Amino acid sequence: GNNGIDVTGAGFGANLAGSRLIACWGGDSLDASALGYMPQDIDIYSNSWGPSDDGATISGPGPLTLSAIENGVYNGRGGLGNIYTFAAGNGLQNDDDSNADGFTNNRFTIAVTAVDHNGVQSWYAEPGANILVAAPSEGDGEGITTTDVAGSS
């Protein structure tokens, strides 16, 4: 990388954009607006939100949101397509399964689950056949080592 210590992050050279989507569920129109925002400028829409992880709720995006995601995948970034990732869910203790989440169980999105530093499923991470990525997170008392603009703490 260009930081003098030869460390490069996964998004080297990438720019980040933040979008406040939900405080309480905003509904189909707000979700669609956020997930369809600036599709020519935003490459990856990383989403760590979704339906309730209570083990009983089966829910997913409304028709406007589905259309926004599909449009982004086919037409975003000048035809290269946008990438939409969604957290698989935190409902393992409620016997929830990410297959019951219409945001993660969608052919146009990538479901991401959590593993600890040993590669073991985190205690809260939902299972599901729809999961395509397992990424490091916490889960066994050990945290994640990462960079920080403020220095060590």
> How do beta strands 131-136 and 83-87 pair?
unpaired
The residues spanned by each domain of the chain are: 46-136
Whether 81 and 39 have beta carbons less than 8 Å apart is answered as no
Residuewise pLDDT in 10s, the chain (153 residues): 566 666 666 566 666 677 776 655 678 999 999 999 999 999 899 998 888 889 888 889 999 999 999 999 999 999 999 999 999 999 999 999 999 999 999 999 999 999 988 888 999 999 999 999 998 887 667 666 666 677 655
In the 8-state DSSP scheme, what is residue 25?
-
pLDDT at position 62 is: 95
- pTM higher than 0.85, yes or no? no
Q: Which residues contact 29 (CB under 8 A, 6 or more apart)?
A: 64
Instruction: For 74-127, give the DSSP string.
Output: HHTGGGT--EEEEE--S-GGGT--GGGBTTTSSTTSEEEEEE-TTSPBPTTPPP
pLDDT at position 107 is: 96
